[in-house]
Structure 1
Amino acid sequence: MLHDSKHFVSDGIALTDLANREILSGTVLSSDGDRHVRLRRVLSEQLSACSVKQLGQELRTRAGLLVDEHIDSGCGAFDAAALSRQMAGDTVMRLMGLPEEVWPQLGERTAAFYDVCGPDGPRYQQALPLATAIVPFLHDTVTRDTVAEDSWLGAIYRAVNGGEFDESDAIPLASAYAVAAMDTTVLGLTEAIRQLAHHPKQWSLLRQDTSLAENAIHEALRLEAPVQGFGRLVAERVRLGDTWIEAGEQVWLLYGSAGRDTDKWGVAADAFNIRRLNARDHLAFGAGRHMCAGVPLALMQGRALLEALASRCTRLSPAGEANRMLNNVLRGWSRVPIAAQLTGPLIGSRQPQ
């Protein structure tokens, strides 16, 4: 269905007409055809594997410093969610080119976007004011004068100048960077660390061979897709298995359950196995034309963080009750306390007691 953009179109990502019409309209997430290609092109150029490769050493250095900081301040323990949030959130905000003083304000609005993609209810109603304020907020803070010229948002304005799309498309496209790149990456990295802490044999495998770090991230995403589902609108009557679906109906794509499908993953579908050969076949990043453009950056951040932890910690283990993040569409954790057994004194910091 994700590959069939003829029958299943992106006008119906959210479950309410209000969200689809007022919040998602004009964004790359809800566009199809030539318009989607034009809008996505600038995203793809900035987020391609070749473009983000040059960030490798910077991300590895940053990951090492953050791991030292979080473990040291916690005397050998840390919150995997806080560590992941600082790694992924700050990286994305900086690459976007936004002034640092607006980072917290934008960050608190992004989770609300996913809440309003779900059903109308108390959580939806509470999130609606924040979600509808994303584009006006960006209109006020994202201008040619405030964004860094060599940033992702600077690239959007260069594309506008080059006639690739209209000025009116710049802010909705900027919102795609803000919304799609942060919460999902933070939740995915947090889940990978949590799974490794709960599976010491898998952690030992990773420490013995850090090239497994990327597969560990894929396996965590397979088991706990940060985006559990998105909608599609049926453009033409279509048959799915033994069922006919009429034009105008909406379908909900369950990325989360797809990652646990025993027809695809076998009887061990619920097991966390960083050596699973087909782990990267999950749908947490989507598929087809709307597959997440930020995959290379998300994986690079994840590899850097897991490699930094593996070089500093001989063992990870749960250190108390984790707290769920509650959201209509997102699945993950707001707090995951982890105990770390260290390889030795942290460089440039006090010895944990």
Structure 2
Amino acid sequence: MDAPLPGHAALRDAGPYVWLSRYDIGAVARYEQVRAVLADWKTFSSARGVGMEDFEVHGRFRLPSLILEADPPEHSVSRDILSRVLSPLVLKTLRERFFEEADLLVSELLERRTFDGIKDLAEAYPLRVFPDAIGMSRDGREKLLPHADMLFNSFGPRNALFQASADKANFAWVDQQGRREMLQPGGLGMMVHDAAERKSMPPEKAAMLVRALLQAGLDTTINGLGATLHCLLQAPDQWLLLRQDPSLARAAFDEAIRLESPVQTFFRTATRDTTLGEIAVNSGDKVLMFLGAANRDPRQWAAPDRYDIMRRTIGHVGFGAGIHACVGQLLSKLEAEALLSTFARRVRSMEMTASPERRYNNTLRGLATLPVAIR
């Protein structure tokens, strides 16, 4: 279950900037350097791809994300649209519905007593509330997960994981979901189109923004919820704290995002010769950021491998940082608050009934199964 952790420690100990000769790329695993790369978009560009392949060298084998794989000024327009659509004021209108759905789901699970914490909780809840918030049709929502799995696999090497996920993805269906005519009035998707129209953004680009929201809006939340449940099961003292004060739900989620880092890696491309920790970085170098390693760096965090929901987690890079930080993190945290606080309020005890299984992806860290019994 902890397979990457020794490797992360070795990378941190190797130096502030290391070269991975197998893939001919540079890498940073220490918190200080990961944060520095995230903060300097002019030197470390996202526009050449946040995956292993450099768009300028290898071409564009997939459509780039208008939010993840763009730099200012193009990025600024897209981010402004999504920031307004996903603002605290807008998300406040979703709060009541999110809590109602959380209560319904927890009621169902309490009746069953035993369930899979991934399929029946971590996946089931976001698939109920997130597509509704976007304004999607209820038909075909199950296609979102294979597509997102393929997307995050595409950021790594073209290996068996990528190929297997690509065979399951339905590109045409996902593309259609971003179009104005496919969306319900009043949803976040339609709000994106309206905001894009006010900025004279072409409809096809607005549809790409909605698609980017759909692609990135599930996996971090799902894997984060699964990680939180797993952490609470392994740390009964922290579960007791949450039961005693369900308002700690967001803190429990944020600490699990730091500790488990659902998005483990992202790439940047150096636009000029520079240095990281006094080590030379050459223009054109692909730089792999180990977000998960940075979030457990003992140079930054006390007892970094301990799950502590009272920890001050401000500054972790589980949602990225800088201008490319996850624009949807407030939505993700609202979902987590609603589900986890409801779960803590209504569930007295829980235990794992079997060992969980990992789900493997080139970019993501998460569980495939988590058998749980509750009372």
TM over 0.5: yes
Counterpart for residue 315 of structure 2: 281
Q: State the secondary structure of the residue aligned to 1:301.
A: helix
AA aligned to 2:310 is: R
In 1, distance between residues paired with 2:271 and 2:110?
52
- Residue of 149, 170, 174 corresponding to 1:111: 149
Counterpart for residue 291 of structure 1: 325
- The reply to whether residue 12 of structure 1 matches residue 49 of structure 2 is yes
Q: For residues 191 and 20 of structure 1, do their structure 2 counterparts lie closer, same or farther at Cα, with a shift above 3 Å needed?
A: farther
- The reply to whether residue 86 of structure 1 matches residue 121 of structure 2 is no
AA aligned to 1:23 is: R
Contact 1:197 1:318 in 2 (8 A): yes
In 1, distance between residues paired with 2:63 and 2:290?
20
AA aligned to 2:83 is: S
- The reply to whether residue 308 of structure 1 matches residue 317 of structure 2 is no
In 1, distance between residues paired with 2:65 and 2:329?
22
Counterpart for residue 93 of structure 2: 54
In 2, distance between residues paired with 1:96 and 1:20?
31
In 2, distance between residues paired with 1:20 and 1:152?
32
Q: For residues 26 and 196 of structure 1, do their structure 2 counterparts lie closer, same or farther at Cα, with a shift above 3 Å needed?
A: closer
Counterpart for residue 99 of structure 1: 137
In 2, distance between residues paired with 1:311 and 1:167?
44
Aligned-pair identity (%): 30
- Residue of 92, 95, 102 corresponding to 1:63: 102
In 2, distance between residues paired with 1:338 and 1:129?
31
Greater shift in the superposed pair: 78-87 or 153-162: 153-162
In 1, distance between residues paired with 2:292 and 2:54?
23
Q: State the secondary structure of the residue aligned to 1:22.
A: coil
How far has the Cα of 1:156 moved from its partner? 2.5
In 1, distance between residues paired with 2:176 and 2:50?
26
Deviations 1:158-206 (A, max 9, x none): 1343244222312321221111110110000111011111111111111
Deviations 1:55-97 (A, max 9, x none): 2222111111101112312xx2222212111111222111121
1:309-324 alignment runs, 5 A limit: 309-324=343-358
How far has the Cα of 1:130 moved from its partner? 5.1
Contact 2:350 2:373 in 1 (8 A): yes
- Residue of 51, 76, 87 corresponding to 1:37: 76
Q: State the secondary structure of the residue aligned to 1:2.
A: helix
How far has the Cα of 1:141 moved from its partner? 4.2
Q: State the secondary structure of the residue aligned to 2:299.
A: helix
Q: For residues 191 and 26 of structure 1, do their structure 2 counterparts lie closer, same or farther at Cα, with a shift above 3 Å needed?
A: closer
Deviations 1:323-343 (A, max 9, x none): 111111110112111121x3x
Counterpart for residue 184 of structure 1: 220
* Structure 1: runs of 5+ lacking an equivalent: 343-353
Q: For residues 120 and 88 of structure 1, do their structure 2 counterparts lie closer, same or farther at Cα, with a shift above 3 Å needed?
A: same
Q: State the secondary structure of the residue aligned to 2:319.
A: coil
- The reply to whether residue 172 of structure 1 matches residue 208 of structure 2 is yes
Contact 1:16 1:120 in 2 (8 A): no
In 2, distance between residues paired with 1:66 and 1:20?
45
Contact 2:246 2:342 in 1 (8 A): no
Q: For residues 157 and 339 of structure 1, do their structure 2 counterparts lie closer, same or farther at Cα, with a shift above 3 Å needed?
A: same
Q: For residues 100 and 333 of structure 1, do their structure 2 counterparts lie closer, same or farther at Cα, with a shift above 3 Å needed?
A: same
TM-score normalized with structure 2 length: 0.85
AA aligned to 1:161 is: E
- Residue of 259, 262, 269 corresponding to 2:295: 259
- Residue of 271, 287, 296 corresponding to 2:306: 271
Counterpart for residue 24 of structure 2: none
How far has the Cα of 1:320 moved from its partner? 0.7
In 1, distance between residues paired with 2:87 and 2:59?
28
Contact 1:323 1:336 in 2 (8 A): yes
TM-score normalized with structure 1 length: 0.90
In 1, distance between residues paired with 2:340 and 2:174?
33
1:326-341 alignment runs, 5 A limit: 326-340=360-374
* Structure 2: runs of 5+ lacking an equivalent: 1-36
Q: For residues 61 and 125 of structure 1, do their structure 2 counterparts lie closer, same or farther at Cα, with a shift above 3 Å needed?
A: same
In 1, distance between residues paired with 2:243 and 2:175?
46
In 2, distance between residues paired with 1:97 and 1:55?
12
AA aligned to 1:91 is: V
AA aligned to 1:203 is: W
Counterpart for residue 33 of structure 2: none
Counterpart for residue 212 of structure 1: 248
How far has the Cα of 1:214 moved from its partner? 1.1
AA aligned to 1:148 is: Q
Counterpart for residue 145 of structure 1: 181
Contact 1:97 1:151 in 2 (8 A): yes
In 1, distance between residues paired with 2:115 and 2:164?
31
How far has the Cα of 1:26 moved from its partner? 5.1
AA aligned to 1:313 is: V
